[in-house]
């Protein structure tokens, strides 16, 4: 029965989230536009699908992915795992933290960033629209791969930053300078899409796992504050996709020029 | 007659959802078994959960195709035909405001922010003061997303180049970071991310693309996208402003 309770719980909170939007849509449709919607029942069925689908999706994530993913994040960042060889020798006080002690953490950050972004529903939506609007010039899967790769690279660098304790501002400002430089060189058609990609990645699937990873790292490395370093990872996950999407377009254009 | 292509059509979203979820399963399995060298706990629950995720994602995508996208674009076309800018901008504002104000992630972040502010001695540590602060922050973010969508729609109507708006906005964010109180900066940067929920993104994207394709001289690829970029930028500015004014 607890499964049913959980579903009802998730469904109700999804409903509460969606209700104000539905009110705005229906209100304007009835009072301002006063226009018949084509296939109205089909559209309503679509809304029901979205609601029920999201509820199932979120509930499944809470059941299957989040608990294990968060547990793994905390285990991978635990000094007992990182320094298991030293611990085996009975040394339990770590003098200096070296960046390459954490190679598995970077690998995990990279792969979980890549994998969760690929499953991000809002990115799927943007990908579908981009493919349709561009007439297939931008493929939905290509865009999503580019964004996921950006998130993966971004969060790995973000983890490196937490481990080494370098300034967040440095990285973000350098990243923005690269973004600006790319903006003036990349094909102009891709730029709005690239800017949008930064916003869609930090959504349902990616954020909880990244937050767990960032918090785990910040809590176990001496001198890091969970409050500051936990959120830093999300900032990386929103800037790097902008670069990778522009780079994707630049590479595609280069291949077209030099391919023949 | 249920023929093969019909069957294929019905299972295609499920197959695509399976393709999208396989990487997560592989990553978790690999790290759990080969790196941490542990067994998967509660295998049964995990399998059932994965089936829910799979089914939910497939249903969501189908719902986008037949519900959210046609609705968003249909309304955008209707607004363009009606030609009344006031109603369009009001709609844009309310869409941004309404999708944000009830967002669970935002409610959580605002509550946490109030705790931080109370511990930092910025506000009193009473329930009332914290609730007020959290409510004020929530309203600030919701207002900012409404404003962001309005600005984004104005940009589409007037044909401003997006990169000037966004790069200019980020300059403002960097400048304000110097002046805003330390405690609010983390929250401000976080608020840019929590505002773009799974239902907002498809609706807002459909609105932008629909508007750009029904206005003469606008290109849906160049002008239709970009609303999400506004929605993640403007909240940072508003929240830092809120932090500066509250002190």
Please indicate whether, in this complex, the C-beta atoms of B199 and A20 are within 8 angstroms of each other.
Answer: no
Range of lowest pLDDT (A130-139, A162-171, B91-100, B205-214): A162-171
* A72 closest CB neighbour out of B28, B79, B193: B28
ipTM above 0.90, yes or no: no
For residue A124, what are its two tokens?
A: 């799927």
pLDDT given for residue B143 in this prediction: 94
Q: pLDDT tens digit string along B124-133? A: 778 888 888 8
A174 touches chain B (CB under 8 A): no
For residue B119, what are its two tokens?
A: 């511990």
Angle, helices A40-60 vs A2-27, to 10°: value is 140
Nearest partner of B226 among B173, B180, B164, judged by Cα: B164
Q: Report the SS3 class of residue A223.
A: coil
pLDDT in tens, chain A (260 residues): 577 887 888 888 788 878 888 889 889 988 888 877 778 899 999 999 998 998 899 888 888 888 888 888 888 888 878 777 777 777 766 667 777 788 889 999 999 999 999 999 999 999 999 999 999 888 999 999 999 999 999 999 999 998 888 887 788 889 989 999 999 999 999 999 999 988 887 677 887 788 778 878 887 887 777 666 666 787 888 889 999 999 999 998 998 888 75
Count of residues making up chain A: 260
**Mean pLDDT (chain B, rounded):** 86
Distance CA(A121)–CA(B197), nearest Å, equals 10
B120 touches chain A (CB under 8 A): no
Cβ-Cβ contacts under 8 Å, A28 against chain B: 75, 87, 91, 94
Rounded to 5 degrees, what are φ and ψ at B136?
-60, -40
* B24 closest CB neighbour out of A18, A115, A183: A115
DSSP A141-191: HHHHHHHHHHHHHHHHHHHHHHHHT--HHHHHHHHHHHHHHHHTTS-GGGH
Cβ-Cβ contacts under 8 Å, A29 against chain B: 75
pLDDT category at B234 given cuts 50, 70, 90 is very high
CA distance A27 to chain B (A): 10
A-B CB pairs within 8 A amount to 303
pLDDT category at B60 given cuts 50, 70, 90 is very high
Look up the pTM and report it: 0.88
Letter string b/e over residues A143-181, b meaning 16 or more CB atoms within 10 A of that residue's CB = bbbbbbbbbbbbbbbbbbbbbeeeebeebbeebbebbee
For residue A136, what are its two tokens?
A: 């297939």
- Asked if the model's pLDDT at residue B2 lies above 60, the reply is no
Distance CA(A199)–CA(A203), nearest Å, equals 8
pLDDT given for residue B1 in this prediction: 47
Please indicate whether, in this complex, the C-beta atoms of A35 and B78 are within 8 angstroms of each other.
Answer: yes
Letter string b/e over residues B135-155, b meaning 16 or more CB atoms within 10 A of that residue's CB = ebbbebbbbbbbbbbbbbbbb
pLDDT given for residue A260 in this prediction: 58
Cβ-Cβ contacts under 8 Å, B78 against chain A: 33, 35
B53 touches chain A (CB under 8 A): yes
Nearest partner of B191 among B209, B173, B208, judged by Cα: B173
Q: pLDDT tens digit string along B40-57? A: 777 888 888 899 999 999
pLDDT category at B177 given cuts 50, 70, 90 is confident
User: CB–CB of B229/A198 below 8 Å?
Assistant: yes
Please compute the mean of the pLDDT values over residues B188-195 and round it to a whole number.
74
Please indicate whether, in this complex, the C-beta atoms of A46 and B71 are within 8 angstroms of each other.
Answer: yes
Share of chain B above pLDDT 70, in %: 94
Distance CA(B96)–CA(A97), nearest Å, equals 45
Please compute the mean of the pLDDT values over residues B105-126 and round it to a whole number.
76
A93 Cβ neighbours under 8 A, 6+ residues apart: none
DSSP A69-97: HHHHHHHHHSHHHHTHHHHHTT-------
């Amino acid at each position: 029965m607890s499964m049913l309770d959980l579903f009802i719980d998730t469904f109700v909170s999804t409903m509460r989230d969606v209700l104000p939007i539905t009110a705005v849509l229906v209100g304007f449709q009835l009072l301002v536009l006063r226009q018949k919607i084509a296939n109205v029942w089909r559209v309503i069925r679509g809304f029901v699908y979205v609601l029920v689908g999201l509820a199932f999706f979120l509930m499944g994530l809470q059941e299957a992915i989040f608990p294990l993913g968060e547990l793994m994040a905390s285990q991978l960042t635990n000094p007992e795992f990182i320094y298991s060889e030293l611990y085996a020798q009975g040394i339990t006080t770590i003098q200096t933290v070296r960046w390459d002690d954490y190679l598995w953490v970077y690998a995990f950050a990279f792969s979980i960033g890549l994998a969760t972004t690929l499953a991000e529903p809002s990115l799927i939506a943007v990908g579908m629209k981009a493919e349709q609007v561009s007439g297939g010039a931008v493929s939905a899967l290509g865009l999503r791969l580019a964004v996921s790769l950006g998130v993966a690279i971004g969060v790995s660098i973000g983890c490196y930053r937490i481990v080494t304790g370098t300034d967040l501002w440095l990285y973000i400002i350098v990243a923005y300078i690269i973004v600006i430089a790319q903006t003036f060189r990349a094909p102009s058609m891709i730029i709005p899409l690239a800017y949008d990609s930064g916003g869609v990645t930090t959504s349902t699937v990616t954020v909880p796992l990244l937050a767990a990873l960032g918090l785990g790292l910040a809590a176990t490395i001496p001198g890091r504050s969970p409050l500051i370093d936990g959120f830093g990872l999300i900032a990386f996950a929103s800037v790097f996709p902008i670069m990778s999407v522009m780079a994707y377009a630049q590479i595609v254009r280069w291949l077209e020029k030099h391919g023949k | 007659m249920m023929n093969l292509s019909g069957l294929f059509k019905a299972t295609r979203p499920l197959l695509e959802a399976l393709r999208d979820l396989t990487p997560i399963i592989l990553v978790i399995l690999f790290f759990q078994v080969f790196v941490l060298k542990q067994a998967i706990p509660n295998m049964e629950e995990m399998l059932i959960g994965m089936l829910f995720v799979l089914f939910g994602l497939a249903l969501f995508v189908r719902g986008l195709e037949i519900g959210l996208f046609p609705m968003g674009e249909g309304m955008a076309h209707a607004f363009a035909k009606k030609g009344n800018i006031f109603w369009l901008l009001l709609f844009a504002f309310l869409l941004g405001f309404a999708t944000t104000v009830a967002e669970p992630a935002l409610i959580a972040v605002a509550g946490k922010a109030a705790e931080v502010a109370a511990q930092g001695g910025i506000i009193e540590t009473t329930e009332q003061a914290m609730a007020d602060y959290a409510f004020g922050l929530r309203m600030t973010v919701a207002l900012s997303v409404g404003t962001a969508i309005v600005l984004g729609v104005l940009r589409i109507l007037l044909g401003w180049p997006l990169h000037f708006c966004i790069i200019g906005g980020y300059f403002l964010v960097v400048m304000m970071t110097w002046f805003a109180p330390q405690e609010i900066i983390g929250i401000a940067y976080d608020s840019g991310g929590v505002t773009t929920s799974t239902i907002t993104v498809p609706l807002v994207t459909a609105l932008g693309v629909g508007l750009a394709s029904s206005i003469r001289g606008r290109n849906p690829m160049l002008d239709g996208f970009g609303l999400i970029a506004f929605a993640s930028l403007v909240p940072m500015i508003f929240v830092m402003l809120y932090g500066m004014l509250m002190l």
